[in-house]
Amino acid sequence: MSETKIWNGFRCEEFDFEGRLAALVFPEKANEKKSWTIKTEYRDAFPETEIELLKRGFHCAYLTNNNRWATKEDCDAKARFALYLHEHYGLSEKCVPVGMSCGGCHAVNFAGFHPESVVCMYIDAPVLNFTDNPGNPMIEARRAVWENEFVKAYPGITRAGLLNFDNHPILKAPILIENKIPILMVYGTQDESVSYALNGQFLEDAYADHPGLLTVMVRKLQGHHPHGFPQNPGRIADWIEAHIG
């Protein structure tokens, strides 16, 4: 059973998928490729890019995560969800993950585990290095997140264990490069919530020899928020349209 709602002026169907709340927002007229995005966390946050893409014929989907930290369980569920949307709604086999902050770790890990499900991605101020966030014990707010969220997502993990932890999103970069998945990464130069030097910069370094696969857009003199370019969402939408194959 599904429930029809309105999301930012567009028809939205909410339904249960494997015990998780799922949602699919419909454009007035789908584009020829039946393209779609999946918001990987924070469903309603900074929706301007998705609204712009809906106007251009994209569908926009969401699947609830069990936690914010991109476990394989959540990534595998997204892959099954992608197949479901392809088979039941006729959408493209490959989606465009949209990952903001912790959503960035979901987007990258999802693509790393299931590159066959991803055509390109847009990540914004992404968490890519768990030793920094939430693993940095010097930042008080992160200590609470570590204790209340991360160790529950990864039972038995310790901060020392993060040094050879194989689920850091940044470690998925070789798989993304091998599969030639284009990435748009956006960040603010004054971001104090997710250090670019300890997260996004690592991704830039990994892509140094593959510049055509990574596009970086900078929000000068801005912090963690707002994500995207709320006054000019077409800037990101244009990039996505150009990279959906």
- Helix, strand, or coil (residue 17): strand
Instruction: Note the maximum CA span of the chain.
Output: 51
Cα–Cα distance between 211 and 226 in angstroms, integer?
Answer: 26
Stated pTM of the model: 0.98
Phi then psi for 85, rounded to 5 degrees? -65, -35
pLDDT of the chain along its 245 residues, tens only?
899 999 999 999 999 999 999 999 999 999 999 999 999 999 999 999 999 999 999 999 999 999 999 999 999 999 999 999 999 999 999 999 999 999 999 999 999 999 999 999 999 999 999 999 999 999 999 999 999 999 999 999 999 999 999 999 999 999 999 999 999 999 999 999 999 999 999 999 999 999 899 999 999 999 999 999 999 999 999 999 999 98
3 state DSSP class of 199: coil
